[in-house]
């Protein structure tokens, strides 16, 4: 462990062992069933469990933790990204730019949309089912007798690092799950700390003021490690400046957008995200060419971020009021004054009124489907929220996504499907004719 509390992992390239004590392996479906069963333990922020897990994996030879850095044949750079909105987009941009430059990358993000394997990628490719099954077999056997239960995210983080330890990589990109200070990814040391725009979300875990939330996000700042930060509201900016000063960490706020070449992701906010991604790579002293930046930004494939499914259907994972406001702005940039036929589903722990207030002005009508996620707000509850906001916006409750899509396609307006990344994933699975993410372990 270093003084910042982060572990350093040396990528050894050793093959994964099946089971910590020679136990029979479990297949991909069984492995995911076990992993999803950990959700019953809920969210537990803290680094004790993940540190123990990484140390035990290291001790048993499944990865090697030592002072120094993430290393393969040559030192590996680690980019750590926190924030409220835009984390995934920034991570995807960094990954795409680095691969365009010829670097071999690893990428850890959350949540996934259609398949769990989306969370863990090596050089742009999702981790294999066999790697997931073998890795989770090892971890399951390792933690079987622990008194302190590991959470879904802790095990997933350990699995990602284990998978990465078997690949020779140049750049590792890690996205926080919730917060930063006590997020499992913060057990790793980094070469640059990146903070995207901070706003209200996960208040039950991070605090009810911007200052409190920013304090948790700024927890990824480590002694003397450079920090690259998006423009922030004053309360958040103050907290970040204080934390960086305490850590003697060089701090740069990125306030200008990237305008030089096209970006595959729509919206002015993505130009700000691109500028942040480029600044982060430079702060980490990762050599880049102008052409690699241009090619990387033009080649990003990051679904459910104002994704055009067809000429009149947009899918976006906006899941809090700030993201919904940005979505509304992007809609106006693309469609002008033309209003949307809105298909909306939101998770029950979100700010329903704030999301609906942001989206109502761009909607002509709303369909509220019943979706299969257990965390979803009941359509009847969303209907009451909409009715309390405005009486001028017609809405209909539908029994399924399929019926909502059928009814929306009968309308003349372009269609906007949004409210949650989980919902976006369920829609994409439906459109692709694949099982939804939560059904993966049942197939």
Q: What is the 3-class SS of 137-194, one letter each residue?
A: HHHHHHHCCCCCCCCHHHHHHHHHHHHHHCCCCCEEEEECCCCCCCCHHHHECCCEEE
Which pLDDT score, from 0 to 100, does residue 59 have?
Answer: 87
Q: Where are the beta strands (DSSP E) in 322-441?
A: 340-344, 363-369, 395-398, 415-418
Q: What is the token pair recorded at 36?
A: 């999803």
Which pLDDT score, from 0 to 100, does residue 74 have?
Answer: 42
Q: pLDDT tens digit string along 337-385? A: 999 999 999 999 999 999 999 999 999 999 999 998 888 999 999 999 9
Dist CA 272 CA 89 (whole Å): 11
Question: Is the per-residue pLDDT at 85 higher than 90?
Answer: yes
Which alpha helices (DSSP H) does 60-151 contain, by range? Answer: 87-101, 129-143
CA-based Rg of the chain, rounded to a whole angstrom? 21
Dist CA 377 CA 373 (whole Å): 9
Question: Is the per-residue pLDDT at 68 higher than 90?
Answer: no
Dist CA 395 CA 332 (whole Å): 21
Question: Is the per-residue pLDDT at 193 higher than 60?
Answer: yes
Q: Are 182 and 48 in contact (CB under 8 A)?
A: no
Half-sphere exposure of 156 (CA within 13 A, CB side): 28
Which pLDDT score, from 0 to 100, does residue 9 have?
Answer: 40
Question: Which DSSP string do the residues of 316-327 spell out, in sequence order?
Answer: ----SHHHHHHH
Dist CA 65 CA 75 (whole Å): 14
309: left (phi over 0), alpha (psi -120 to 50) or beta: alpha
Phi then psi for 415, rounded to 5 degrees? Answer: -110, 135
Domain chopping of the chain, boundaries: 9-298, 307-442
Q: Where are the beta strands (DSSP E) in 40-103?
A: 64-65, 77-82
Domains 9-298 and 307-442 share a fold: no
Phi then psi for 77, rounded to 5 degrees? Answer: -85, 140
Which pLDDT score, from 0 to 100, does residue 442 have?
Answer: 53
Question: Is the per-residue pLDDT at 336 higher than 70?
Answer: yes
Dist CA 427 CA 90 (whole Å): 23
Q: How confident is the model at residue 441 (pLDDT cuts 50, 70, 90)?
A: low
Which pLDDT score, from 0 to 100, does residue 207 have?
Answer: 96
Dist CA 317 CA 330 (whole Å): 13
Q: What is the pTM of this model?
A: 0.92
Q: pLDDT tens digit string along 98-127? A: 999 999 999 999 999 999 999 999 999 999
Least confident stretch, 146-150, 215-219, 261-265: 146-150
169: left (phi over 0), alpha (psi -120 to 50) or beta: beta
Which pLDDT score, from 0 to 100, does residue 42 have?
Answer: 82
**Beta bridge mates, 71:** 10, 75
* Mean pLDDT for the stretch of residues 152-164: 95
**What stretch of H or E contains 407?**
helix 401-409
What value does the mean pLDDT of the chain take? 91
Least confident stretch, 204-213, 368-377, 428-437: 428-437
Q: pLDDT tens digit string along 263-322? A: 999 999 999 999 999 999 999 999 999 999 999 999 999 999 999 999 999 999 999 999
**Which percentage of the chain shows pLDDT scores above 70?**
90
* Mean pLDDT for the stretch of residues 64-79: 55
Least confident stretch, 12-21, 192-201, 338-347, 401-410: 12-21
Which pLDDT score, from 0 to 100, does residue 172 have?
Answer: 96
Q: pLDDT tens digit string along 220-260? A: 999 999 999 999 999 999 999 999 999 999 999 999 999 99
Which superfamily does CATH assign the domain made up of 307-442 to?
Mur ligase, C-terminal domain (3.90.190.20)
Question: Is the per-residue pLDDT at 202 higher than 90?
Answer: yes
Question: Is the per-residue pLDDT at 12 higher than 50?
Answer: no
36-45, 70-79, 96-105: which is most confident? 96-105
* Mean pLDDT for the stretch of residues 171-196: 96
Q: Are 13 and 134 in contact (CB under 8 A)?
A: no
Question: Is the per-residue pLDDT at 64 higher than 60?
Answer: no
Buried b vs exposed e over 332-346: b needs ≥16 C-beta within 10 Å? eeebeeebbbbbbbb
Dist CA 42 CA 32 (whole Å): 16
**Which percentage of the chain shows pLDDT scores above 90?**
83
Q: How confident is the model at residue 208 (pLDDT cuts 50, 70, 90)?
A: very high
Which pLDDT score, from 0 to 100, does residue 49 have?
Answer: 93
Which pLDDT score, from 0 to 100, does residue 83 have?
Answer: 98
Q: Which CATH number fits domain 9-298: 3.40.50.10890, 3.40.109.10, 3.40.1190.10, 3.40.1370.10?
A: 3.40.1190.10
């Amino acid at each position: 462990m270093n003084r910042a509390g982060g572990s350093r992992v040396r990528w050894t390239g050793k093959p994964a062992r099946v089971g910590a004590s020679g136990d029979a392996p479990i297949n991909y479906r069984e492995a995911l069933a076990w992993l999803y069963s950990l959700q019953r333990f809920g969210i537990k922020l803290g680094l004790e469990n993940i540190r123990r897990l990484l140390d035990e994996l290291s001790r048993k030879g499944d990865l090697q933790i030592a002072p120094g850095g993430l290393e393969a044949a040559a030192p590996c750079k680690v980019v750590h990204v926190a924030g409220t909105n835009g984390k995934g987009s920034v991570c995807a941009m960094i990954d795409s730019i680095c691969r365009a430059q010829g670097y071999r990358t690893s990428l850890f993000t959350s949540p996934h949309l259609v398949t769990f394997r989306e969370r863990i990628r090596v050089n742009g490719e999702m981790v294999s089912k066999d790697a997931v099954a073998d890795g989770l077999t090892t971890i399951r056997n390792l933690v079987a007798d622990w008194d302190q239960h590991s959470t879904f995210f802790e095990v997933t983080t350990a699995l990602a690092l284990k998978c990465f330890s078997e690949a020779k990589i140049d750049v590792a990109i890690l996205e926080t799950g919730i917060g930063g200070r006590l997020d499992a990814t913060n057990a790793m040391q980094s070469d640059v700390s990146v903070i995207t725009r901070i706003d209200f979300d996960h208040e039950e875990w991070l605090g009810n003021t911007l200052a409190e939330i920013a304090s948790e996000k700024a927890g990824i700042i480590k002694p003397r490690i450079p920090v690259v930060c998006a423009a922030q509201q004053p309360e958040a900016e103050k907290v970040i400046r204080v934390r960086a000063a305490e850590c003697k960490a060089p701090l740069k706020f990125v306030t200008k957008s990237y305008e030089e070449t096209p970006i595959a992701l729509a919206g002015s906010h993505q130009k700000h995200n691109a500028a942040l991604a480029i600044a982060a790579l430079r702060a980490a002293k990762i050599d880049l060419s102008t052409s690699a930046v241009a090619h990387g930004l033009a080649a990003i494939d990051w679904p459910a971020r104002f994704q055009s499914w067809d000429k009149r259907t947009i899918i976006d994972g906006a899941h809090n009021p700030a993201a919904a406001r940005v979505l509304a702005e992007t809609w106006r940039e693309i469609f002008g004054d033309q209003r949307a036929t809105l298909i909306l589903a939101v998770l029950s722990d979100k700010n329903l009124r704030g999301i609906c207030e942001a989206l109502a002005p761009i909607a002509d009508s709303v369909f509220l489907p019943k979706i299969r996620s257990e965390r979803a707000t009941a359509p009847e509850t969303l209907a009451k929220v909409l009715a309390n906001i405005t009486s001028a916006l017609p809405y209909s409750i539908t029994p399924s996504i399929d019926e909502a899509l059928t009814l929306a396609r009968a309308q003349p307006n372009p269609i906007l499907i949004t409210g949650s990344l989980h919902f976006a994933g369920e829609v994409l699975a439906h459109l692709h004719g694949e099982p939804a993410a939560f059904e993966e372990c049942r197939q």
